[in-house]
Amino acid sequence: MGSRKSAGHLAALFTIIIWGTTFISTKILLADFQPVEILFFRFVIGFGALILACPRRMKGVDRRQEKAFALAGLCGICLYYLLENIALTCTLASNVGVIISAAPFFTAILSRLFMKSEGKLGPAFFVGFGVAMAGILMISLNGSGPELNPAGDILALLAAFVWACYSILMRKIGDFGYPVILATRRTFFYGILFMVPALFVFDCKIGAERFADGTVMFNLLYLGLGASALCFVTWNFAVHVLGAVRTSVYIYMVPVITVVTSALVLKEPVTWMSAGGTVLAVAGLFISAKQ
């Protein structure tokens, strides 16, 4: 049991490290693609990869389970990313970073309401949440004052909430007993399906010539194979092993990974605020994980 939990923690950490670096690929792709196009193509690539990894069909799915898969796809694949990307066009990136990091708190509340098996939340969880959020606030603001942008901030808050819904749904789906790859593939299918109307709303075009660029293809494959196909499988595995609440606290690490990646890849300077915030965010993760 101990080794399985260790595997769950490693899977969650690995996932967050990859997710924390995706902003570089997304930033590069935004020169040629709209945000919804990036999402659509990355998950189509991820869906195809999961079919190749496990080509067998999922059998014996009843109507209640199908509904859970559809809701998970709507929340975690479609709505979360659309809300986050639209929020980034309406408010500061620092605001979005802080607000999205509140997802573990929403996960804890929903878990308490709908997942009694997750157990009671001890004081350590809330202390860790407070410490981590203080650190994330330091990283995000990094010397600049806070600026409220109601529309964008509300969208970011909704994104954090729907991610919490996705985490709870995947915890329930894990109890169905299906292989993680098949369960993840099912949620991808519904997420892509719900994403199709958005392509028409934002007047997206295929533009096949864009895919001839090697840099574009590399970054799309990184997002599709790594950040989507592989990481959603490892994240869902972690949720199944550790529970939705314990896994969700790893979200505190996303701003930390962003700071480190920015310093290493983009050569951005590390200030005392970002360094101090990193320490607090990591400390909050460890405190919350012990609840």
The closest of 79, 154, 77, 130 to 252, measured between CA atoms, is: 130
Q: Which among 65, 71, 248, 58 is positioned nearest to 173, based on CA atoms?
A: 65
pLDDT higher at 189 or 151:
189
Please say if the pLDDT value at position 7 is more than 90. Answer: yes
Confidence class for position 266, pLDDT limits 50, 70, 90: low
Q: Report the half-sphere exposure of 19 (CA within 13 A, side-chain side).
A: 21
C-alpha torsion sign, points 207, 211, 215, 216: positive
Per-residue model confidence (pLDDT) at position 97: 73
Give me the pLDDT at residue 117, please. Answer: 59
Sign of the Cα pseudo-torsion (76, 78, 81, 87, in order): negative
d(CA 18, CA 80): 17
Q: Which of 99-113, 197-211, 217-231 has the lowest mean pLDDT?
A: 197-211
In angstroms, the CA 223 to CA 45 distance is: 9
CA separation for the pair 270, 143 (Å, rounded): 12
Q: Which residue has the tokens 């950040």?
A: 227
Query: What was the pLDDT predicted at 237?
Result: 95
Q: State the virtual CA torsion across 168, 174, 176, 180 in degrees, nearest 10.
A: 140
Which helix (H) or strand (E) segment holds residue 127: the answer is helix 123-141
- CA 205 to the chain's CA centroid: 26
287: left (phi over 0), alpha (psi -120 to 50) or beta: alpha
**Can you give the pTM of this predicted structure?**
0.86
Tokens of 284: 């909050």
DSSP 121: P
Residue 191 has pLDDT above 90, yes or no: yes
DSSP string, 42-58: HHHHHHHHHHHH--SPP
pLDDT at 185: 96
What is the C-alpha separation between 7 and 78, in angstroms, rounded? 28
